[in-house]
Structure 1
Amino acid sequence: MPSINLLNYNFNALAILLCSYLVLIPDVEISTNVFFLILFFFAIIQKSFNYKYKKVFSSILAIATIYILFVLNDQTLSKEYFINLILGLIFLKYSEIEKKESHYFFGFSCVFLAVSSLVYGQDLISSFLSFIIILLSIIHLYSLNQTKILKLNLNNLFRYFIFALSIIPIIAIIYFVFPRAELNIKLFETKKNQLGIPDKISLGSFQNISDSEENVFIFKTNIHDNDQKYYFRVKVFDKLSISKDWLNSEYKILLAQFKNSFKVSNPIEKQDVDASLIMFPHEKKWFPKLDNYNFKNSNLNLNLINNTLTTNKIVTNKKSYKLIYDKRDVIYQKKLLDFYTLLPNNISPKLKQWAKTNFENANSPKDYLDKILNEFKTNNFFYSLTPVNQGNDYENFFFNTKTGYCEYYAGTFTILARLAGIPARIVTGYYGGSYNNLGDFYTFKQHDAHSWVEIFIDNNWVLYDPTLSVPNENILNSNNSNFESFETSTVTSNNEQKIDISRVGIYFEYINYVWTNSFLRYDERSRTNFIKEKLSNTDMYKSIFFFLFSIIAIIYLIKILLFIYARNFLYKLFFNKLRKNNKNLSNYMTHQEIYKSLKNIDQRRFEDLFKLYEQIKFDKKYKISFKNFYSINFQIIKYAYFK
């Protein structure tokens, strides 16, 4: 069996440092990852050099690291910032390691980083890596106290493994009891987070936000309707400015202006449904809302006019929510409906003429809207993520370039509807998602961001998605695979779209979903209930005692099995008993000297034991039968305990 020096502190520390870097990769932006990568290589290089003012230089870098991470964290004092800061300082501490004593602080810092990440990060990869860091760090700290080279054999590996696993109860206590209070202090106005929907819609707005694979939320429901496609609304844009930007009116402004122009009629009693949603952190206050559904036991603000949701606190943590059926019919008065027909005075005369001509030739408002959709379908319109930059020129798009993506079609459709006096508004959010048929859930990513239109017809808002009118063969490129799989429709089509990745990816996504969904439900409220209810429950202590007793029993059982497998003998017990019964025997005597010092009766009694001991000690290839193994050990136990 080859041997390895488990006291190689530098190798152990480098392995821990690499795992510490990997644990935060999924949770930070590319710019922060690049900075960490620079620090990682700098730490390795600086560690290999010794110069007089190394610690002074590292201290200056530490101050710079604090500032750089503060800027990269959007100048916000949050738990993510402090966890990232710990990693940055760990890199610098590693670069200063010269003596054995320096490893202790490094090891404890890595344990603190791993525990912090484990408490706040619930995805499968980060949880697994945090656990590995803790095990490696404990092994590393344990090996620092060893004085001899340990061979790579089953006994030594088992010893390390059992010692490392002893930290699990401490991890569990920290996880269940550690406070989960939010820390999110923004000191300055900074750049906008790219997740979500922009604050205004211009032609080209979605080009800056739709090219991202980042997860936004996961939706699961056991109620399937193949005729429905999921549209989750985030913002409604109801006002077109002079510069042709679509703006989102604040709810409090709408309430002040149209307080008596709408009312809720015959709301249906809320009903529990078998549906849930996992929200990923996006550093904003919006929430995705499915029509006729709301979130159970959540402090969210419902905009009754635009049917959207917001929260009072910035979303900084992944969290799981249960959905309820919550349908509300809102009656709109003429004053409010007229608001959804307003347009600035500088609308293109050519668009006005097209709307006037086609509306006069239409049999009804629905027929007119179908004419617009038919125009997109039959008059060589194309869907592309890289259209020519033309500013907010809707006339040029509609009559000339005819190439764009969702906000081009939604904005033009809304303008043409309002030109005909039909109330219309742009709705933005997320469309389609990727279906995981193993776990039966939908993953919505940032590239699923989409805009569509709602038209007020027959006393109700009706969903129109003009983008889906573009023929499949005219889709030049798209991040959202749902655009390429549906026939022309004013609403939706098939719901059972499967994610186009390998089976391995589907299984991993499912395992990560189960892991995340299981741990996400343990939040600050769950922690408080756990402390109040569980820690005062005597049954829990019985369960813990039974668990610990079982672990100890399993450990001893494994030791016994290993002892039997190796056919070891209880000679240590045997010689200790001989010394106890014979005061003239010394600890420094050889086995031959011990034998000669025994009485004649004892020499005859233990002659075979001494011969076997000598044979085992000097003949490494000697193997005894299991029958003699049990017989001799039984003889030793009988002498030691039952004399």
Structure 2
Amino acid sequence: MKDFLSRFNLTLIICSYLALVFTLYDQLHAIILLIGLGAASWRLGHYFGKVPLLNIIMLAIVSIICAVFTVLLLYKQGLFNILIHLVFLGFSLKFLELRSVRDVYFFVNTGLVLIALFFIFNTSIYSAFIATLLILLLLSVLLSLHAQALLKSEFVKLLLKSCVISLPLAILLFLVMPRLPTLWKMPIQKQATTGLSDSVTPGEIANLSRSSALAFRATFTAMPPIESERYWRALTLDSFDGRTWSQSGTLKAQEMEAKRGVGQRFSANNASDNVNNDYELIIEPHYNYWIPVLDYAKTPQQLVSLSDYSLRSDKPIITRKGFTISSLSSVQPSPLTTFELQQYTQLPESTNPKTDNWISENLNNGVSRENLLTQLLTGFTQRFTYTLQPPLLAEQQVDDFLFNRQAGFCVHYASSYLYVARKLGFPARMVTGYLGGQWQASEGFFTVRQYDAHAWVEIWKNDAWQRVDPTAYVAPERVESGLEQSLTDSNEFLADEYFSLQRWQSVPLLDTLRARLAQLDYLWARYVVNFDNQKQQKLLQRWLNLIPWLNIAYSVLAVMGIIFIALLLSIFKPWQKIKFAPEDVIYNRLQQHYKNRYGERGIRKTGQSISDYCKQLSQNEALNSTLFNKFASCYNNIKYAPQADKISYRKNIKQLKTIYQLLRKTRGG
């Protein structure tokens, strides 16, 4: 059976299919991808006559087998994930089935659904640009079915014109269409490749700090805090097994309540209304529940606060998400219970004998507990170095770090200080999050990246939690100026990301490019991605406030009338003169010529076909009857026969014009 698709049609379809596969491969299972590519290969083989198309029965059997296999393969990953893969399979199998224009319509519409699903997991402006190109490619498939005679330049022009015309309607729908809640629970399809964890072993955050991936952005309504005060707390780790710091059962229980949306609102909300600053966070997907905030945060309605002053969302952050946070200048903490005192001083037995002996000797020599902690911090400033490439520690980590290696990253210093503090009887805990952030002056926001990840200590003194950052003693420039400044004398900063624009901030041109791209992506995230129900209601309310309530109905009717009139004008274009096709112009000239020559004998009768009219003229000029027949045949061929391309059409017009000129020059009567 001859394929109804031209080479140009099939090329566009294959390009659109492969582009969608390449775009979605990160969300699709490898086996399902292979099945889809196999279907596409079979369809391509049919075009070149190598394999037959599957009949309807075989195609139905293949579809059922693939659907059942997909459900069995992915049933543990949730309904939504299964649906995504089934849509992709339908897209691939429809490509295999293409037999008519209707099938191509279905193929294109399924592709548009897949692009919408792509936006669920990718919301950056770069993803939007890719999705726009995919939409143009799919629309070009439809256009190619009905505009095969167009030149390539005219084809592209018509495609872009159609998209530009529909753009205002798309923007209007984006602004006014209701934001409906999701009908299913969004799955956590993958674990975060970069991001904080609920357990930390010295060296892990050092690996994280090799990444320039964006963590979040923050915009302040008032003067932002200085660099050394921008500690973004995310997780508190209060349990130690001798090697790894993790969350205790109490905090894990609070985490579980937060995930169910039933957690309590702890003491940060019990403080007086001493709001110090408001800021808006736009958080990148990290597939966890924690929200990075400054000390201390007033809990928004959509979040839950834990007893350690950290905030949690009841849903994992799997797409870009915006939150407005109020920062409190202070809180009044509740006294620690006996259980909490025990939890925050808990240590395993005899894991670091050298450190234990050092503590005992100093206490026996009359050194106070506070002075011993100060002595430890002073030692950090004298003999220790700050590095992203710390040596591996022995099993007795604190001993090996304090007495042998003496080189490490923030977790090494926080872990060692925390161990000594607990050994001295001070309740203490580790806090992980981010420190600092890069100021973007063009739009007035901070960009916090994964290499800003940090760990510090909170110690209970004078009935309050007090922050102690041991890193500030060994590398004060890390706290005051950021990670890059603290590593200016080494090549450790983003050593694994040679082509990252963050690495080349010292090059003015690349730094300007980086800043412009960051600004553009921020504006997209803040005003488009973060355009939620609340912001939509405020916008619509603002619009309605501009119009008296009595005139709202008239305004709606007026807008509808304007849209209707604009559509009529765009269709009929009354300002343009009626344009005849070139063949009709030549035909009209022929009629006018013979009307002038023969009077009533040269006038075409109403409803008379061109063939009959040319026979009528042959009666006046019998010698030109052959030319008249050629004129009628050429006109009918141009008007009613399909044209292969624009070049053939122009060639036929030229032939018709030549016949007309010969008839004018000769008088065959």
**Given the superposition, is the C-alpha separation of residues 220 and 533 from structure 1 closer, same or farther in structure 2, using an over 3 Å criterion?**
closer
- Equivalent pair of 1:434/1:442 in contact (CA under 8 Å): yes
Q: Is the 8 A contact 2:269 2:298 kept in 1?
A: no
CA shift, 1:308, in A, is: 0.8
* Deviation at residue 107 of structure 1 after TM alignment: 1.6
Contact in 2 for aligned 1:436/1:498 (Cα 8 Å): no
Alignment of 1:517-596 (within 5 A): 517-523=526-532, 538=553, 539=555, 542-543=558-559, 545-546=561-562, 549-550=565-566, 560=576, 583-584=605-606, 586-588=608-610
Q: Which residue of structure 1 aligns with residue 150 of structure 2?
A: 150
Provide the secondary structure at the position in 2 that maps to 1:275: strand
Q: In structure 2, list runs of 5 or more residues that go unmatched.
A: 46-50, 256-265, 490-501, 621-651, 659-669
> Does structure 1 retain, via aligned residues, the 8 Å contact 2:201–2:244?
yes
Pair 1:331-2:340 in alignment: no
2:353 match: 349
Q: Report the CA distance between 1:374 and its aligned residue.
A: 2.6
Aligned-residue offset at 1:431: 2.4
Give the structure 1 partner of residue 214 of structure 2. Answer: 215
Task: Report how far residue 424 of structure 1 moved.
Answer: 1.9
Summarize deviations over 1:503-524 as a string: whole Å, max 9, x none.
2232122112111211233335
The residue matched to 1:508 in structure 2 has which SS? helix
Which residue in 2 is equivalent to 1:631?
A: none
Change (3 A) 1:473 1:170: closer
- Tell me if 1:401 matches 2:405: yes
Task: Indicate whether 1:45 and 2:45 are aligned.
Answer: no
Counterpart of 1:638 in structure 2 is none
- For 1:398 and 1:458, locate their aligned partners in 2 and report how far apart those are by CA, in whole Å: 28
Q: Which protein is richer in helix relative to its size? A: 2
Amino acid at match of 1:105: F
Residue equivalent to 1:12 = 12
The corresponding residue for 2:21 is 21
Q: Which residue pairs with 1:299 in the alignment? A: 302
Matched residues in 1 for 2:415 and 2:114: separation?
A: 48
Partner residue in 2 for 1:224: 224
* Aligned equivalents of 2:82, 2:329: Cα separation in 1: 40
Q: Secondary structure at the match of 2:315?
A: coil
| Separation (CA, whole Å) in 1 of partners of 2:117 and 2:435 | 35
1:317 is matched with 319
The correspondence of residues 376-525 of structure 1 with structure 2, limited to 5 A, is 376-385=380-389, 387-388=391-392, 390-391=394-395, 393-471=397-475, 481=484, 483-484=486-487, 500=505, 502-523=511-532
Q: Conserved in 2, the CA contact under 8 Å of 1:341 and 1:421? A: yes
Q: 1:6, 1:143 within 8 Å by CA — same for their partners in 2? A: no
Q: What is the DSSP-based 3-state SS (H/G/I as helix, E as strand, rest coil) of the residue aligned with 1:198?
A: coil
1:248 is aligned to 248
Aligned to 1:184, what secondary structure does the other structure show?
coil
- Aligned pair in 2 of structure 1 residues 341, 561: CA closer, same or farther (>3 Å)? farther
- How far residue 388 of structure 1 moved from its aligned partner, in angstroms, is 1.6
Pairwise CA distance, 1:276:
0.8
- In structure 2, the partner of 1:197 is 196
Contact 2:268 2:298 in 1 (8 A): no
Query: Deviation at 1:440?
Result: 3.1
- Return the letter of the residue paired with 2:515: I
CA distance in 2, matches of 1:396, 1:308: 32
Structure 1 residue identity aligned to 2:319: N
Residues 46 and 272 (structure 1), Cα distance of their counterparts in 2 relative to 1, 3 Å cut:
farther
Cα shift readout 1:38-85 (whole Å, capped 9, x = no counterpart) = 5675455333332576846676455545555x38xx82333x664455
- 1:460 Cα shift? 3.5
Q: Is the 8 A contact 2:296 2:331 kept in 1?
A: no
Q: Deviation per CA, 1:1-28, whole angstroms, max 9, x where unpaired?
A: xxxx987221111222234235446xx4
| Local SS of the residue matching 1:331 | coil
Take 2:227 and 2:206, find their aligned partners in 1: how far apart are those partners? 29
Counterpart of 1:611 in structure 2 is none
Tell me the TM-score normalised to structure 2 length: 0.68
- Offset, 1:409: 1.7
The match for 1:124 is 125
Uncovered stretches (5+) of structure 1, i.e. residues with no partner = 256-261, 487-496, 599-615, 623-643
Provide closer, same or farther for how the CA distance between residues 265 and 343 of structure 1 changes in structure 2, counting only shifts above 3 A: same
Q: Structure 1 pair 11/123, CA: closer, same or farther in 2 (3 Å)?
A: same
Residue 572 of structure 1 and its aligned partner are, at CA, apart by 8.9
User: Structure 1 residue 453: deviation in Å?
Assistant: 0.9
For 1:335 and 1:447, how far apart are their aligned partners in 2? 36
What residue is the counterpart of 1:604 in the other structure?
none
8 A Cα contact 1:235 1:428, kept in partner? yes
- The share of aligned pairs that are identical, in percent, is 20
What is the number of residues matched between the two proteins?
Answer: 566
| C-alpha contact 2:230 2:435 (8 A) present in aligned 1 | yes
Distance in 1, Cα, partners of 2:577 & 2:124:
37
CA distance in 1, matches of 2:323, 2:587: 61
Q: Indicate conservation of the 8 Å contact 2:422/2:428, yes or no.
A: yes
Deviates more, 1:385-394 or 1:169-178: 169-178
Q: Report the counterpart of residue 184 of structure 1 in structure 2.
A: 185
Q: Which moved more, 1:367-376 or 1:45-54?
A: 45-54
Q: 1:87 to 1:542 in 2, by over 3 A?
A: farther
Counterpart for residue 107 of structure 1: 108
Cα distance in 1 between the residues matched to 2:560 and 2:413 = 61
Distance 2:454 2:614 in 1: 88
Conserved in 2, the CA contact under 8 Å of 1:231 and 1:290?
Answer: yes
**CA 1:75–1:254 in 2, change beyond 3 Å: closer, same or farther?**
closer
RMSD: 5.1
How far apart in 2 are the matches of 1:506 and 1:280? 18
Aligned counterparts of 1:347 and 1:95: Cα–Cα separation in 2: 64
